[in-house]
Structure 1
Amino acid sequence: MSVELRPMTSADISEVHQLETRLFPEDAWPVAAFESELAQHETRNYWVYEDQGKVVGYAGLCTVLPISDVQTIAIDPAYQGQGLGRKLMNLLIDTARESKALDVMLEVRFDNPTAIALYESLGFTTIHRRARYYKGGVDALIMRLQLDALQEERTQEKEEPTA
């Protein structure tokens, strides 16, 4: 597998939507939502993972200062467990930081422990639970990563003397 990461283009929307529908049958975005997101260049950044011409993952970020919001992230199950989701999340976080956002926000289904564990391992904390947010009555966790706190932590780690 030679997975490559690149910016999403309108030519990717059909394949992204097929993957979206397969992964999130109840909550899938319509094609028009992806088209609208890609058209908003000033505030949106989207990427896809591609393996031999096939889209196997994607993610999007909306930044309206002082907040960046993870719009979507997904990895084909055949490609999960390889760190691709973590790399995408780090790219989203770095993009938010470069945009001078103070926080990165996201919503995640309460019944998705794998995603929740990933987000928590990256420093996100749950700040709210929205009852019945998703179709089917599933709750959403609202999670936040405070970038200024993360930056301070990384700076302190670099300044600590090593033995």
Structure 2
Amino acid sequence: MTPAPDKKQDRRPPYQHAADELRRDIKQGRFKPGEQMPPVRELQQRFGVANMTARSALNVLRDEGLIYTIHGRGSFVADVGEATGEFKIDYTPPAWYLANDNEAEAEEEAREGKPDAESTGPSLAELLTALRDEIRVLSAEHQELRREVEELKKAQQPPRS
């Protein structure tokens, strides 16, 4: 028998797959705050990837603030709040991760007869339009503030004789 094909192929690079797995391990507590992450060589073997691919996965987690690196010592899991279990840093997973992470939840809700997020919440196009409009408003406010600063600077300059 041939194995069943995946429902849909994920075209993301291998380093993102590795980063996803490591992120899940951190979120599920397999790696505790302050604990050292596995060495790059071990990650290479675990994920079947090249050295630079494993390093790129760690770079993604470092950029997200989930881990930090001490030169010559290795990478370590960032601290989380004791009471809440939330990361102390302002951690927001990337949108593509949230989309992939929520697919399983959406499938489960569909099986249970719950409405999916798309039918109850704003669409991506609506969110993008709202963000664009907000950026335009902020840009206009920024320009207005720059004009005010220039006027204040001119008012503070001594008159030329």
- Same fold per superposition (TM over 0.5): no
Between Structure 1 and Structure 2, the one with more helix by share is 2
Instruction: Say which one has the larger Rg.
Output: 2
Between Structure 1 and Structure 2, the one with more strand by share is 1
Superposition TM-score, scaled by structure 2 size: 0.30
Superposition TM-score, scaled by structure 1 size: 0.29
